[in-house]
A and B are shown apart, each in its own frame.
Chain A
């Protein structure tokens, strides 16, 4: 919890640092491709994403999908929420949460641990939240920059064969990954 405190403070400060005027546009659809730089544990990577949904006044709700290349490639599928303020540049808070579908590359399997020479990935969860601002707006088109904290989880399963006491034992083993990174996102919205 203590480790999450700076992030919460970041969100709180961002909210209080800007004016409280809200966006009052009517309901409309949006589509938003984005590119994200992911800075994590001794590793920098990227992801590309696409989200779509509806805008309702200050709130934006949609669904998104991404290809996340950070350490173990995966496909996050998530619910995309955004709360934005009016202004120029307009600040916003965002939160994404959902499913992290494993799509690991061959060399990302820990085959050296497996007695069968293969491992299988199980899906996990995905979370990303932070704050940002629209740096360009023209009607419904906009470009935004945001900073967030992202966590994705995966599980890798493999089998270990042990010979103990002259008997073969076949046991299942697993590795639960929790991958944490700071995300810097450039998004285009229309």
Chain B
């Protein structure tokens, strides 16, 4: 390798010199190569988005829980109807109060700011609404001049976890943060260190819906997809796996009686007579309220995992399911509950729904919201042989409340007031449109 074209004597001396030089250089090269091993750290740069909670002092938040000027409706939550007033939650913002004494000309009369509000119910002239983990009690005797009368902390701990529940602060908004973090490839990285709240995301999978007759006595209308349910002087609220039992005999001052564990993946609660029907992604759970402070488990009927609001009448429970790949993804189930301890699946109405959501029943008329396919009107005179007799198209129907011939239909764009006295000829009386973001 180290040739030179000179005399053999000189060539020999040059070769020896070159060989020594080569050995030195080679050893040096190998040393440097070994040192280069320190440049073999693998790196990952992770770019992601998280949401940072923004807090406000609790006293400031409570001071703002009162009727303010009406706001445009942007993102709906749940409905409650009491008399001729519709209480509509704006997700995590508060409650819109709508006067529909004239269904042809409903009026948005005010807005009550309640951070974290999703679910609500009304008893006498008191509105119960969740304020993240707390329960706010609002006097709505005069809907145009409401006021906060009581604030109960730690009623709904399911609302978020991984976040310190400091009663002196209330979560009011979320800040989007885009960030990038670099680390060695073989190390674990815990995103919660950056403030992401590990919220129970499935807690709010049930979209807003109420379905059923108008309120009897002092309680607001119970429905198919709500998480709050009033039965007599008791308020029952469900979380992911538990149920709160609250005494609202004194409507102005509810008190927590107990919290019990119920099923799993619970999304909705529907009271009917002296029973509670809990809809979960796993099935239906039926509880007896013979002892109103101690709901007793009667039975369950499981199904494939899907979103499923449920309503009931004297003999049957009606369940819409969506989100399951099986059976076309969406269908209506009829369950015989004549024996509450042994519910029996009677029939599955498949291939007539594409995106079934909230539902409501009034006599022999079953109204089923079918997403973009509109509102399906079914003849339920013979529940085991129901047929679709009319469809209101051109709307993305999400929820419906049937009120003795007046249907309040929540759509993607607003609320429609419809006359269904003649189910074959449903007329739209009026509507309130949401503000597009």
Specify which of B36, B50, B201 lies most central, judged by the most chain A CB atoms within 10 Å of its CB.
Answer: B36
Residues from 128 to 181 in A contacting B, C-beta threshold 8 Å: 131, 147, 149, 160-169, 171, 173-181
B21 & A17 in contact (Cβ 8 Å cutoff): yes
How far is B42's CA from A104's CA once the two chains are assembled, in angstroms?
17
Q: Please encode chain B, from 166 to 210, with 1 for each CB lying within 8 Å of some chain A CB and 0 for all others.
A: 000000011010000000111000000000110101001000000
Q: B36's contact among A149, A162, A163, A177, by CB below 8 Å, is which?
A: A149
Secondary structure call for the B interface:
mixed
Collect the chain A residues with CB atoms within 8 Å of residue B199's CB: 163-164
A162 & B29 in contact (Cβ 8 Å cutoff): no
In the complex, whether B25 has a CB less than 8 A from a CB of chain A is: yes
Which of A5-13, A52-60, A75-83, A92-100 lies at the interface with chain B? A5-13
In the complex, whether A19 has a CB less than 8 A from a CB of chain B is: yes
A41 & B50 in contact (Cβ 8 Å cutoff): no
How far is B36's CA from A21's CA once the two chains are assembled, in angstroms?
28
Q: A13's contact among B3, B29, B118, by CB below 8 Å, is which?
A: B29
How far is B35's CA from A54's CA once the two chains are assembled, in angstroms?
34
* Given A42-B186, A166-B118: A180 in contact with B92 (beta carbons within 8 A): no
Collect the chain A residues with CB atoms within 8 Å of residue B46's CB: 173-176
In the complex, whether B44 has a CB less than 8 A from a CB of chain A is: yes
How far is B316's CA from A27's CA once the two chains are assembled, in angstroms?
88
How far is B21's CA from A19's CA once the two chains are assembled, in angstroms?
11
Least Cβ–Cβ distance between A110 and chain B, in angstroms: 9
In the complex, whether B47 has a CB less than 8 A from a CB of chain A is: yes
How far is B174's CA from A87's CA once the two chains are assembled, in angstroms?
70
Q: Please encode chain B, from 8 to 39, with 1 for each CB lying within 8 Å of some chain A CB and 0 for all others.
A: 00000000001001100110110011011111
Q: Find the A residue at minimum CB distance from B182.
A: A176
B1 & A87 in contact (Cβ 8 Å cutoff): yes
Least Cβ–Cβ distance between B2 and chain A, in angstroms: 5
Least Cβ–Cβ distance between A91 and chain B, in angstroms: 8
Q: B186's contact among A41, A89, A90, A178, by CB below 8 Å, is which?
A: A41
B185 & A177 in contact (Cβ 8 Å cutoff): yes
How far is B48's CA from A161's CA once the two chains are assembled, in angstroms?
11
In the complex, whether B75 has a CB less than 8 A from a CB of chain A is: yes
Number of interface residues of B (CB under 8 A): 47
Collect the chain A residues with CB atoms within 8 Å of residue B92's CB: 165-167
In the complex, whether B404 has a CB less than 8 A from a CB of chain A is: no
Q: A88's contact among B1, B41, B44, by CB below 8 Å, is which?
A: B1
Specify which of A4, A165, A179 lies most central, judged by the most chain B CB atoms within 10 Å of its CB.
Answer: A165
In the complex, whether A71 has a CB less than 8 A from a CB of chain B is: yes
B29 & A18 in contact (Cβ 8 Å cutoff): no
Q: A165's contact among B32, B50, B91, by CB below 8 Å, is which?
A: B91
* Given A166-B91, A167-B92: A41 in contact with B40 (beta carbons within 8 A): yes
Least Cβ–Cβ distance between B322 and chain A, in angstroms: 16
How far is B230's CA from A158's CA once the two chains are assembled, in angstroms?
43
Collect the chain A residues with CB atoms within 8 Å of residue B28's CB: 13
Least Cβ–Cβ distance between B69 and chain A, in angstroms: 22
Specify which of B18, B48, B184, B204 lies most central, judged by the most chain A CB atoms within 10 Å of its CB.
Answer: B48
Q: Find the A residue at minimum CB distance from B171.
A: A165
Least Cβ–Cβ distance between B285 and chain A, in angstroms: 24
How far is B38's CA from A4's CA once the two chains are assembled, in angstroms?
10
Residues from 24 to 72 in A contacting B, C-beta threshold 8 Å: 39-43, 71
Q: A14's contact among B29, B37, B197, by CB below 8 Å, is which?
A: B29
A147 & B33 in contact (Cβ 8 Å cutoff): yes
Q: B40's contact among A16, A173, A182, by CB below 8 Å, is which?
A: A182
Collect the chain B residues with CB atoms within 8 Å of residue A42's CB: 186
In the complex, whether B51 has a CB less than 8 A from a CB of chain A is: yes
A4 & B51 in contact (Cβ 8 Å cutoff): no
How far is B47's CA from A171's CA once the two chains are assembled, in angstroms?
11
In the complex, whether A3 has a CB less than 8 A from a CB of chain B is: yes
How far is B3's CA from A4's CA once the two chains are assembled, in angstroms?
33
Collect the chain B residues with CB atoms within 8 Å of residue A147's CB: 33
Least Cβ–Cβ distance between B125 and chain A, in angstroms: 26
A39 & B25 in contact (Cβ 8 Å cutoff): no
How far is B359's CA from A27's CA once the two chains are assembled, in angstroms?
81
Collect the chain B residues with CB atoms within 8 Å of residue A171's CB: 48-49
A41 & B33 in contact (Cβ 8 Å cutoff): no
Q: B44's contact among A9, A89, A161, A176, by CB below 8 Å, is which?
A: A176
B77 & A166 in contact (Cβ 8 Å cutoff): yes
Specify which of A13, A90, A167 lies most central, judged by the most chain B CB atoms within 10 Å of its CB.
Answer: A13
In the complex, whether B45 has a CB less than 8 A from a CB of chain A is: yes
Least Cβ–Cβ distance between A116 and chain B, in angstroms: 14
Ranked 8 nearest A-B pairs via Cβ: A17-B25, A164-B51, A173-B48, A166-B91, A163-B201, A171-B49, A166-B92, A164-B174
Residue contacts A-B, CB under 8 angstroms, 7 given? A6-B33, A18-B2, A164-B53, A166-B118, A169-B51, A169-B176, A180-B39
Other than the given A43-B186, A88-B1, 8 more pairs (CB < 8 A) read: A39-B37, A87-B3, A166-B75, A166-B204, A168-B201, A175-B45, A175-B47, A180-B43
